[in-house]
Amino acid sequence: MPLLLALVTLALLACGLAFDLGQWTRCVPIPPQMGVCRDLGYTEMRLPNLLGHGSLEAVPSSEDWRPLLDAGCHAQARDFLCALIAPMCLDTFVQPCHSLCVAVRDSCAPVLACQGHAWPEALDCDRFPAQEEMCLPPVPKYDSPFSKGLPQPACQHCPTVEELPSLRSVLDALCLNDFAVKAKLHRRRSPWKETEFEVEGRVEFVRQGPLLPYDTQSLLRRWLLLNLSCARLLVRPGRAQLYLLTGGARPDGSLALARLFPWHKRDANIAHAARKWKHHKC
């Protein structure tokens, strides 16, 4: 996996992080393979960067980190990463502050753990300065009243997938779970410069439960990006798959998927259950 290679690269650099910020540096254009860092308001970066990479060939591709960034683990995760691998070409290096590193680590390390990776030792937050006037600080978080209480996806074991289920099996899943939606999941053949997984079209509610209409498509997309290994089992590259997705709320308020039914045209039981549900008594 590309992200694993990027993490290994960072681990190998851990012993060389005492980087001399006063050494000779040069400015170079940000290359295409660092697309994640190309739209931050500047077009040139300094080499060696803050991880000690002296050439563009040695710099890990920022695209390797796109699944983590697209999962939305922290609003400043991209700023933090790009400040290290593609620092702005100024008279001096602007490092991330210790407080920014801690904020990003605390939010993103659980996502990495869900994907089978540990937070890189090379990104030990103790290496970053504490003086916030000399470094890139965290931006105060603003909690919109519209965002409070929004359901969040959970890291979980892969949900059960039932092919060609019986009518009773689908109705039981609708009774036992808090929500059920009809959604088309799509996986691109090549994730280069793009999110690998998307939710195509409109999400249709069979049982709404705790879900919010304006947030459900984004919620499902974030679940796919968080649970990448499960998502890759659910959808083949280059195609879309329609599913009836059922799930429930956890005690902490997060949501997990429970039983999934591939919704094939030849499968009349799922469609029948969705229609019957409105008048069904569990």
Q: Do domains 2-134 and 152-279 have the same CATH topology?
A: no
Q: Where are the domains of the chain?
A: 2-134, 152-279
Cis peptide before 48 (omega within 30 of 0): yes
Q: Residues for the chain: how many in total?
A: 282
CATH level 2 (architecture), domain 2-134: Orthogonal Bundle (1.10)
Q: Is 41 left (phi over 0), alpha (psi -120 to 50) or beta?
A: left
Per-residue pLDDT, 238? 86
> CATH: 3.30.470, 2.10.25, 2.130.10, 2.40.50. Which one for 152-279?
2.40.50
Q: Which amino acid is at 206?
A: V
10-residue stretch averages of pLDDT, the chain, 282 residues long? 49 43 76 84 89 80 77 90 90 89 94 90 90 83 56 93 96 97 90 75 96 94 92 91 96 93 92 93 91
Does the pTM of the predicted model rise above 0.85?
Answer: no
Provide the token pair at 216. Answer: 């459900």
- The β-bridge relationship of strands 152-153 and 26-29 is unpaired
* pLDDT for the residue numbered 19: 47
The residues facing 209 across adjacent strands are: none
Q: Which long-range contacts (CB under 8 A, 24 or more apart) does 31-35 make?
A: 31/56, 33/61, 33/62, 33/63, 34/59, 34/61, 34/62, 34/63, 34/82, 34/85, 34/86, 35/62, 35/63, 35/193
Q: Which residues partner with 27 through β-bridges? A: 46
